[in-house]
Structure 1
Amino acid sequence: MPEEDLVELKFRLSDGSDVGPFQYPPTATVGILKERIVSEWPKDKKVVPKAASGIKLINAGKILENGRTVAQCKAPFADLHKSVIAMHVVVQPSPTKARPEKKIEEEDASQRSFCSCTIM
C-alpha cells in the first residue's frame, strides 16, 4: 500500500500524554487500533487497561465501535494533507465486586437489632 494512503493517528490519554503517532491503512479496524494501544501503553501510568476491551476510543465526539474502519471514523476535517488525527482514549473502570466484609456487617447489624419480650 502506498505510504500516502496511510492514515497517521495518535492517541491522547486522560493525563494529556500521547501514544503514537502510528500509521494505519484506511481498512484497519478500531479493534486493531485498541490492540496496538494496549501493547504500547506507557509502563509508568497508574491506570493500565487489562485488555483492548477495557478502553474506548473517541474521535470527533463519538465513541468508535470495534468493527468500524479508520476510513469510516475519519472526520471530514481530517482529510488535510499530512495531518495527524488525534483520538482520545478512555479506560473503563473495572467493575467492583461486592465486599464480603460489608455483607457480614449488614448481617450482624440485623442480628443486633433483634428485640425480644418475655411475659411472666
Structure 2
Amino acid sequence: MPEEDLVELKFRLYDGTDIGPIWYSSASTVAMVKERIVAEWPKDKKIVPKAANDVKLISAGKILENNKTVGQCREPFGELSGGVITMHVLVLAKTKTEKKVVDSPRKSVCSCSIL
C-alpha cells in the first residue's frame, strides 16, 4: 500500500477524549472505520456503542455515509501533508430512563384575557 494512499484519522468522543490517530487506506469505507471505532472504544466510558450502526461520524460538518470511502471524506481538506483529520463521533444510544406516560383523563383548562 503506497504511503500517499493512507489517511491519518483521529476520532473525538463526546467527552473530549480521542481514539487514534490511526492510519486508514483511502479505499476503506466509513462502515469499516465505524467497526474499528466500536472495537477500540474505551471500556471506561458511560456511553458505549453496541454496534457500528450506533455510531455516526461527522467530518467537516457533515454526517458521513457508510458507503463512502475515507478518500472521499478527505476531499474538503484537500491534500494536507502530514495532517491528521479529526472526525467527531456521535453515539446513538437508546436511554432506559424514558418513562411511559400513564394514560389518565385530562382536564381541559381554558384561560382567556379580554382587554
The TM-score bracket by the shorter chain reads 0.7 to 0.9
Which structure would you say has the larger Rg? 1
* 8 A Cα contact 1:78 1:85, kept in partner: no
The one-letter code matched in structure 1 to 2:40 is: E
- Whether 1:45 and 2:45 are equivalent positions in the alignment is yes
Q: Residue by residue, what CA displacement relative to the aligned partner does 1:81-118 show, whole Å, maximum 9, x if unpaired?
A: 1111000000012266986xx57x53xx56xxxxxxxx
- Provide, for residues 3-34 of structure 1, a one-character-per-residue CA deviation record: whole Å limited to 9, x for no partner: 23210001000100001111011000000000
Structure 1 residues 76 and 49, CA gap change in structure 2 (3 angstroms):
same
The alpha-carbon deviation at position 80 of structure 1 amounts to 1.3
AA in 2 matched with 1:35: E
Letter in 2 for 1:27: A
Letter in 2 for 1:52: A
The answer to whether structure 1 residue 92 and structure 2 residue 81 are counterparts is: no
Once residues 42 and 79 of structure 1 are traced to their aligned partners in structure 2, the CA distance between those partners, rounded to angstroms, is: 31
TM-score, normalisation: structure 2? 0.81
Give the deviation of 1:38 after TM superposition.
0.1
Aligned CA RMSD, in angstroms, stands at 2.2
Structure 2 gaps, min length 5: 106-115
In structure 2, the CA distance between the partners of 1:96 and 1:85, relative to structure 1 (3 Å rule), is same
**Greater fraction helix:** 1
Identical counterparts, % of pairs? 59
Are the equivalent residues in 2 in contact too, given 1:28–1:70 (CA < 8 A)? yes
TM-score (norm 1): 0.78
Instruction: Structure 1: give runs of 5+ residues left out of the alignment.
Output: 111-120
Alignment of 1:1-120 (within 5 A): 1-94=1-94, 102=100, 106=103, 109=104
Q: Distance in 2 between matches of 1:59 and 1:91?
A: 15
Structure 1's 33 and 69: CA in aligned 2 closer, same or farther, altered over 3 A? same
The superposition leaves residues 14-73 of structure 1 with CA deviations (integer Å, 9 ceiling, x where unpaired) of 100001111011000000000000000001100000100001000000000000001111
Question: Secondary structure at the residue paired with 2:88?
Answer: strand
CA contact (8 A) 1:55 1:91 kept: yes
Contact preservation (8 Å) 2:47, 2:93 = no
